[in-house]
Amino acid sequence: MTQKTSNYITKLRNSKLRPTKQRIKICEALFDRSETFHFTIRDLYNLLTNNLVHKISLATVYNTVHAFKNSGYLKQINIDSNNNYFDTNTSHHHHFFDETNNELIDLKNEDIKKIELKKIIPGKKIKSVEVLVKIEPE
Amino acid sequence: MTQKTSNYITKLRNSKLRPTKQRIKICEALFDRSETFHFTIRDLYNLLTNNLVHKISLATVYNTVHAFKNSGYLKQINIDSNNNYFDTNTSHHHHFFDETNNELIDLKNEDIKKIELKKIIPGKKIKSVEVLVKIEPE
DNA sequence: ACCTAATTTATAATCATTCTAAACTGTAAG
DNA sequence: CTTACAGTTTAGAATGATTATAAATTAGGT
Ligand SMILES: [Mn+2]
Ligand SMILES: [Mn+2]
Ligand SMILES: [Zn+2]
Ligand SMILES: [Zn+2]
């Protein structure tokens, strides 16, 4: 077993999932990458089923992605009601969104000045701060 | 005809819509307010049909809200894939989102330090910058 | 090898949104 | 005041993403 595969098995076990062949294939599609991967469930499903002889059902893709999201191995990114994205970059960061091709681009935390709020809501604490920069051709 | 009503008729005509009784009722629900109104289509539909003798169809609510969005009298706010909100405050501003009750709260532009990006995407210009601050009970 | 709970899968159900087409209405010309 | 007709409303159908279901299959322990 490769180093990568045992890493996938760890991720799966941490997510309370048994390492099945379908889930390993999903891990390969998600995590065997040098760059951040931004995807919709449909993107991932198409990617998986185009290359594979043994298809993986859509339900399994949904289940696995959501389990990874819940265990923190994937981040969910809300762009608009038409596009529900996930992100393999789970560090704190923001995004550019190019509406011409529906592409997400990472904006590293150090590429943006710290967001400073002058207003607070009494009795509430901040859970997250997300910045979305929509871009278009010049 | 009241001042308010003629204002609604102006909004409707600017949105290329004839002032029908259904649309005037929708305007009253949306714009006859002192505070910003954040709502989902379902919220608005329930509000309208609970108080009214003559019901308005869901299709008309969708059509009118989208026409107002397209003409700039309403802003669409993307929180997550489950909640598609609209906002009667069309000025540039950001939001708190309280996940315990799904409530949006305006964060005035002057209540947040200007967002400064140190990264740009060549050939692209910025279309919008949106900040969403999720909050939870302390 | 056997047992059992977990998993996969096809399919159905759900839900928001959009589409459709028939009935209705506002407007303006005759 | 009629009439004509484009614009509007509406119920219901269609769509598409997501979630639920339940039967068949599989993984992992004994
Ligand atoms: Mn895509
Ligand atoms: Mn609400
Ligand atoms: Zn990212
Ligand atoms: Zn607002």
Burial B61-70 (b: 16+ CB within 10 A, else e): beebbebbbe
For residue B131, is it within any domain?
yes
> Which residue from A96, A113, A129 is facing B133, i.e. has the nearest CB?
A129
Are residues A53 and A25 both part of a single domain? yes
**C-alpha B72 to ligand 4 mean position (Å):** 14
* Residue A131 counted as domain residue: yes
Interface contacts A/B by beta carbons within 8 Å:
116
Count how many domains chain B has: 2
pLDDT by residue (tens digit) across A47-63?
A: 999 877 778 999 999 99
CATH number of the domain where residue A25 is located: 1.10.10.10
- A127 — contact with chain B (CB < 8 Å)? yes
pLDDT in tens, B65-121: 999 999 999 999 999 888 899 999 999 999 999 988 899 999 998 899 989 898 989
Domain residues for the domain of A14 are 3-80
Place of tokens 């399994």: A60
Residues B65, B123, single domain; the answer is: no
- Predicted model pTM: 0.90
- Centre of ligand 3 from the C-alpha of residue A106, in Å: 4
Contacts of A118 in chain B (CB under 8 A): 110-113
> Is residue B43 one of the residues assigned to a domain?
yes
Dihedral sign computed on CA atoms, order B107, B70, B21, B14: positive
Note whether A75 and A97 are same-domain residues. Answer: no
Evaluate whether residue A65 is within a structural domain.
yes
